[in-house]
């Protein structure tokens, strides 16, 4: 008797729904909130939020823009126990034409994808998410501040929602986006105009082979206690050091740059390399590209002579090295950069029981930091066109 062969079964996973902006459902709030005159970072949220969920059997649900409000999550959701939580930081600005604008948003989407991959969260369509974010911004455009130095902060977030306590990747997720108007991130008091940092090496923010290069919620909580202890000593942020040679990684949650005077009259702008312990910040990248463009005479940064050469270096930078520059009188500037702060001057650094007082302590940003801040803000608000970095939120 002949043996009948059965058709081979396919091992291909069933197709699930991608994130699809065309399926957007909009439920507008019936009562709108009052917008404060001078909001503090992250405390006041706009009228609406974007929410979309993912399930392994069906994929991404229809996106929904709805009134801002609490989320309903199972107590066993993996986000509460194993921290598969990722997010981005973006800002919206009003251009001269009144159009809402974003600053290099595709790079934010790409970094969010890398962060989600790092903690094994479900993939999403970057272009679709950007379309949805722009739609949300247009709906809540009245929340974009017009005051100089203010903006609408955007927080895209993805959290794992698998409802089982077994230690495993979350195969379900919730993606949401909230908006909050914000002014300057740091406020200085008294005569000081620079942010004070405490150099810390006993506690570390990240380590080789870890997750420091990704924007994960779990990267931030371990820094809260050291930052509280630093605040008790009169410092606003931590300058994170790593290793016996006291390599600098980040300043709080900012990328860190210094400006050093050279013997030939040129300036060196130095920042630690992207070695896996440092978040590849969009503002950091933009600063380096603008500095290089100035030196290549593709543009002239405001307040900087066209003949002034600005040499960028992404290399290991240690705390003893900074102390040496300071003692030699060649350390001209130090500043932190990031989406929330843009460019913030560093005034002093607490190190081994003493303070290294920098020129920015009483003067604020130096020539290079001030030029970068002015040019970046002008690009973000559409006053200056540069390399298509500013993108409108047209429907």
Q: What is the pLDDT of residues 160-194, one digit of tens each?
A: 999 999 999 999 999 999 999 998 877 654 555 89
DSSP-derived pairing of the beta strands 100-103 and 151-160: unpaired
Q: Residue 150 contacts by C-beta under 8 Å, 6 or more apart in sequence?
A: 181, 182, 183
The Cα 346–Cα 362 span in angstroms is 10
Local confidence band at 226 (pLDDT 50, 70, 90 cut-offs) = very high
pLDDT at residue 149 greater than cutoff 90: no
The Cα 41–Cα 193 span in angstroms is 19
Q: What is the per-residue pLDDT for 284?
A: 98
Residue 57, CB-side half-sphere exposure with 13 Å CA sphere: 1
**Which tokens belong to 153?**
């902060």
Q: What is the per-residue pLDDT for 42?
A: 85
Query: How far lies 209's CA from each of 81, 206, 247, 269, 278, in Å?
Result: 22, 9, 16, 27, 11
Of 126-135, 188-197, 260-269, 362-371, the least confident: 188-197
- For 24-79, the pLDDT digits (tens) are 999 999 999 999 888 888 899 999 999 999 999 999 999 999 999 999 999 999 99
CB atoms within 10 A of CB 82: 18
The Cα 236–Cα 219 span in angstroms is 18
Contact 221, 287 (CB under 8 A): no
**Which tokens belong to 177?**
């986006």
Residue holding tokens 């959701």?
77
pLDDT at residue 208 greater than cutoff 50: yes
Q: Residue 34 contacts by C-beta under 8 Å, 6 or more apart in sequence?
A: none
pLDDT at residue 10 greater than cutoff 50: no
Mean pLDDT in residue range 301-330: 97
Q: Look at residues 283, 241, 272 and name the one whose alpha carbon lies nearest to residue 369.
A: 283
Q: 11-30 burial, b for 16+ CB within 10 Å, e for fewer? A: eeeeeeeebbbeebeeeebe
Average pLDDT, the chain: 94
Q: What is the per-residue pLDDT for 39?
A: 82
pLDDT at residue 6 greater than cutoff 50: no
Q: Give the 3-state secondary structure of residue 135.
A: helix
Q: What is the per-residue pLDDT for 58?
A: 97
Q: What is the per-residue pLDDT for 222?
A: 93
pLDDT at residue 368 greater than cutoff 90: yes
- For 65-93, the pLDDT digits (tens) are 999 999 999 999 999 999 999 999 999 99
Q: Residue 289 contacts by C-beta under 8 Å, 6 or more apart in sequence?
A: 387
- For 279-298, the pLDDT digits (tens) are 999 999 999 999 999 999 99
Q: 51 pairs with which residues across the strands?
A: 64, 176
Q: Residue 329 contacts by C-beta under 8 Å, 6 or more apart in sequence?
A: none
The Cα 84–Cα 325 span in angstroms is 41
The number of helix segments (H) and strand segments (E) in the chain equals 8, 19
**Is the whole model's pTM more than 0.85, yes or no?**
yes
């Amino acid at each position: 008797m002949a043996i009948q062969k059965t058709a081979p079964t396919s091992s291909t996973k069933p197709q699930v729904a991608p994130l699809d902006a065309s399926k957007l459902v909009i439920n507008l709030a019936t009562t709108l909130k009052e917008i404060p005159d001078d909001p503090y970072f992250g405390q006041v949220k706009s009228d609406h939020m974007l929410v979309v969920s993912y399930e392994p059997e069906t994929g991404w649900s229809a996106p929904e823009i709805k009134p801002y409000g609490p989320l309903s999550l199972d107590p066993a959701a993996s986000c509460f126990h194993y921290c598969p939580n990722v997010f981005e930081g973006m800002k919206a600005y009003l251009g001269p034409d009144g159009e809402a604008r974003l600053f290099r948003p595709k790079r934010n989407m790409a970094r969010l994808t890398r962060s989600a991959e790092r903690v094994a969260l479900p993939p999403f369509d970057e272009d679709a998410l950007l379309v949805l974010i722009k739609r949300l911004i247009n709906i809540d455009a009245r929340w974009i501040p017009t005051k100089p130095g203010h903006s609408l902060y955007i927080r895209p977030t993805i959290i794992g929602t698998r409802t089982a306590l077994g230690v495993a990747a979350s195969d379900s997720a919730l993606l949401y986006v909230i908006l909050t108007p914000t002014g300057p991130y740091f406020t200085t008091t008294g005569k000081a105009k620079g942010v004070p940092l405490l150099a810390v090496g006993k506690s570390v923010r990240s380590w080789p082979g870890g997750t420091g290069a990704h924007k994960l919620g779990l990267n931030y909580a371990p820094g809260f206690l050291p930052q509280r202890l630093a605040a008790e000593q009169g410092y606003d942020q931590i300058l994170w050091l790593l290793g016996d040679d006291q390599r600098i990684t980040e300043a709080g949650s900012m990328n860190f740059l210094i400006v050093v005077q050279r013997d030939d009259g040129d300036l060196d702008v130095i920042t630690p390399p992207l070695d896996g312990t440092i978040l590849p910040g969009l503002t950091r990248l933009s600063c380096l590209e603008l500095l290089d463009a100035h030196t290549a005479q593709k543009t002239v940064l405001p307040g900087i002579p066209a003949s002034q050469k600005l040499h960028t270096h992404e290399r290991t930078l240690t705390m003893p090295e900074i102390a040496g520059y300071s003692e030699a009188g060649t350390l001209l500037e130090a500043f932190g950069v990031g989406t929330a702060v843009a460019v913030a001057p560093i005034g002093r650094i607490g190190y081994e029981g003493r303070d290294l007082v920098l020129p920015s302590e009483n003067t604020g940003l130096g020539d290079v930091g001030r030029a970068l801040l002015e040019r970046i803000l002008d690009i973000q608000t559409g006053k200056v066109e540069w390399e298509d970095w500013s993108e409108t939120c047209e429907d």
